[in-house]
């Protein structure tokens, strides 16, 4: 990878990390969450090269861990999960809890086949002692789902 391109991409991923950190720092642990989510790659740069996709997925895992840390501050029931879609700009980490909008809680992960994962980057990155990986097919194509072990 060209040195200048790498520097530009490193700055982009740090900017995306900064957005995530800011988003989590602005959340109220006493509040409720109706499919609240944090996108990982606003501009879809993860799709332009394989090394960018790996960087996007690595950042997504870091953001999922931020969500897990945030959940430790919440007193009531709350879920977190990470959707990895075929297009990186659709990838997001979610928080969901009982809420005033009456959205179904808990999220049921309908259509997810747990334990099915052919994504080598996810397999190397995700700690199986902490998280399950599953796959589903939806309007986004093949979507990988990473959620905490029950």
* Predicted confidence pLDDT, tens digits, the chain (150 residues): 689 999 999 999 999 999 999 999 999 999 999 999 999 999 999 999 999 999 999 999 999 999 999 999 999 999 999 999 999 999 999 999 999 999 999 999 999 999 998 999 999 999 999 999 999 998 889 999 999 997
Q: Which is nearest to 9 in space by CA: 67, 62, 54, 39?
A: 54
Question: What's phi and psi for 133, nearest 5 deg?
Answer: -120, 135
**Domain edges within the chain:** 3-148
pTM, two decimal places: 0.94
Q: Which is nearest to 147 in space by CA: 48, 50, 67, 38?
A: 67
- Tell me the residue length of the chain: 150
Cβ pair 143, 84 in contact under 8 A? yes
Cβ pair 96, 34 in contact under 8 A? yes
């Amino acid at each position: 990878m060209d040195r200048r391109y790498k520097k530009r991409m490193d700055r982009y991923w740090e900017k995306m990390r900064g957005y995530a950190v800011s988003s989590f720092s602005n959340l109220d642990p006493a509040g409720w969450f109706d499919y609240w989510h944090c996108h990982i790659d606003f501009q879809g740069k993860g799709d332009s090269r394989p090394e960018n996709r790996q960087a996007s997925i690595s950042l997504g895992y870091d953001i999922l861990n931020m969500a897990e840390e945030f959940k430790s501050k919440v007193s009531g029931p709350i879920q977190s999960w990470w959707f990895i879609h075929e297009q990186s700009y659709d990838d997001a980490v979610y928080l969901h809890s009982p809420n005033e909008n009456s959205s179904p809680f808990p999220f049921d992960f309908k259509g997810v086949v747990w334990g099915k994962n052919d994504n080598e980057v996810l397999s190397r990155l995700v700690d199986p002692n902490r998280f399950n990986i599953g796959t589903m097919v939806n309007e986004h194509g093949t979507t990988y789902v990473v959620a905490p072990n029950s």
